[in-house]
Amino acid sequence: MTDTTTTRRPAATDVDPMIDVRALDVAFGSTTVLHGVDLRLERGRTVGIVGESGSGKSTLAKVLVGTVKPAAGSVTVDGVDLGSAHRSALHAARRRIQMIPQDPYSSLSPRRTVAQTLAEAIDPIRPRVATHEDLISGWLERVGLSPDMMHRYPHEFSGGQRQRIAIARGLVIDPHLVIADEITSALDVSVQAQILELLAGIKESLGLTMVFISHNLAVVQRVSDEVVVLYQGEVVESGPVEQIYADPQHWYTRRLLDADPGSARFSLTG
């Protein structure tokens, strides 16, 4: 392939993490939704965020993409302090952070072909399919779709295929950071595993830096290097995924693992 997306990123360094969140508080009105959250992610690594519904996972993701403002604390993403950066720096930073959405049915425009959707991601000002055809074909192949499907519309695809298209759209611009929020939860269980394998493979070959959000611990384990456990808006445990799954320290982490047969098996054998 001739595109540049296969380029590996520089090795992780301690001085320049992709994400550096410190003492983050987020409130909606008088309700505190995140409290004292610290999150650090080196380049080339994936952190899984787990926690039950309402624990604040999506809110944390929205803080990282800049759509939710902190009440307190500091948020630095890809070298940009989101609290103090100027508008143009924020705009540039946001483009380098790609969110892969949860719902493959509502996230793709029904009036655009797959090629038009990807061309628009590549160049929102002048979205020309012909100019980017090689890149678009290459990405469709990489996500397991045939390049000759590029002129079809979303309704001609299954949910799993649409999620492959959404992944291609998120990754085609070679983002510095990928945020995947429950990207398999709207899919059939059998399809979930395929999408997960696809993402895990791409992650390894490209050295993606990713925040992977799921309430399913087995799913998180498949793609993450580290895990952060959120409980009622606070981080109750964090660390390398093997360590946390094999030897959870917090009762809430244990409860999540016990409630999740896939990862509980791991904790017995691992």
Ligand X SMILES: Nc1ncnc2c1ncn2[C@@H]1O[C@H](COP(=O)(O)OP(=O)(O)OP(=O)(O)O)[C@@H](O)[C@H]1O
Identify the residue among 43, 44, 48, 55 touching ligand X (CB under 6 A). 55
Q: x-or-dash pattern for ligand X, window 15-54, by CB under 6 A?
A: -------------x----x-----------------x-xx
Applying CB under 6 A, does 164 fall inside the site for ligand X? no
Identify the residue among 35, 57, 162, 169 touching ligand X (CB under 6 A): 57
Give residue for tokens 């008088």: 30
Residue 43 partner contact from ligand X, Mg ion, none using kind-dependent CB cut-offs of 5 to 8 Å: none
How many residues would you count in the chain? 270
Q: How far apart are CA 178 and CA 206, in angstroms?
A: 12
Tell me if 260 sits within 8 A of 217, measured CB to CB: yes
Closer to ligand X by CB, 33 or 244: give it: 33
d(CA 63, CA 38): 13
Give the angle subtended at the CA of 21 by the CAs of 19 and 25, to the nearest 5°.
Answer: 145
Q: Distance between CA atoms of 50 and 269, rounded to whole angstroms?
A: 21
Q: Does 58 bind Mg ion (CB under 5 A)?
A: yes
Count of positions on this chain that bind ligand X (CB under 6 A): 11
Q: What are phi and psi of 239, to 5 degrees?
A: 155, -170
Among residues 35, 132, 142, 215, the one that binds ligand X under rule CB under 6 A: 215
User: Least CB distance from residue 102 to Mg ion, whole Å?
Assistant: 8
Q: Does 184 bind ligand X (CB under 6 A)?
A: no
Cα angle, residue 69 at apex, residues 66 and 71 outer, rounded to 5°: 150
Contact positions vs Mg ion (CB under 5 A): 57-58
Chain residues in the site for ligand X (CB under 6 A): 28, 33, 51, 53-59, 215
